[in-house]
Structure 1
Amino acid sequence: MVDARDCASLPTTNMAWNMVVGVLHAFRWRLQVTQVVAFAAVLPPMIRALFIEDWDPEKAALPFGEPADWLADVCSIRTRHNFSPPDAVASVASALRKHVDADAFESVLAHLPSGASRYWQPKPPSN
């Protein structure tokens, strides 16, 4: 949460928590059941728990769409307490990549729909 908070320039980890949950759930909504399980397997335990919380495996997957669609879905989580910035997805991607096995993460992304790799692109380095 600290890395996500810092990547997004949020003042608190509470704000980061909501953003991380939103980013994880918005991604999960775009996957089939077997894809959710495969992706969850490469996540650290606490993030894995957030990824699958309140999951309805019967719900149909959404199309990957575009970054604006992702952000709208991220912001739809706990709307009264959601302070996700416009770069929320890239911020969480940057933070998450610090805590996963890079090879395993890329391998699972390669087996998911084409939008998955775009979704998890980290923020470009700042100068």
Structure 2
Amino acid sequence: MAKSDGCSYFKRTSPFCMVVVTIYVCLHTWMAFWPQYIPYGILGPLGALAKRFMDYVHPALYYGWFLMLAIHVCEALLALKICSDKGIDSTSTRLLWLAQTFLFGLTSLGHLVKYSPDGRTKRQ
């Protein structure tokens, strides 16, 4: 194996976080744009909660979806900035960070923030 110089550092977020974020984003999208097609009865307690949200706060879910999208875009752009600051120069690695952070948000960005190019850990 070749010794890594840190310019291509990438750490994938945990599969558990990937599943949780994916399910949440899919359900939120479904509730915001196609609430009439949600099988509330099949989803059990989650369906009852979704039905309650739909009955009482649907506009908040709709506008919240756009807020969630804006936050994920900002996090992805922040990931690119952090890559530059930490000396991650590989274009493919930067695109991996961009995509992963856009899709999974803080669960990905946390790995990048913790990364120390010189190998030292931060003291608090």
TM-score after normalising by structure 2: 0.30
Largest Rg, 1 or 2: 2
TM-score after normalising by structure 1: 0.30
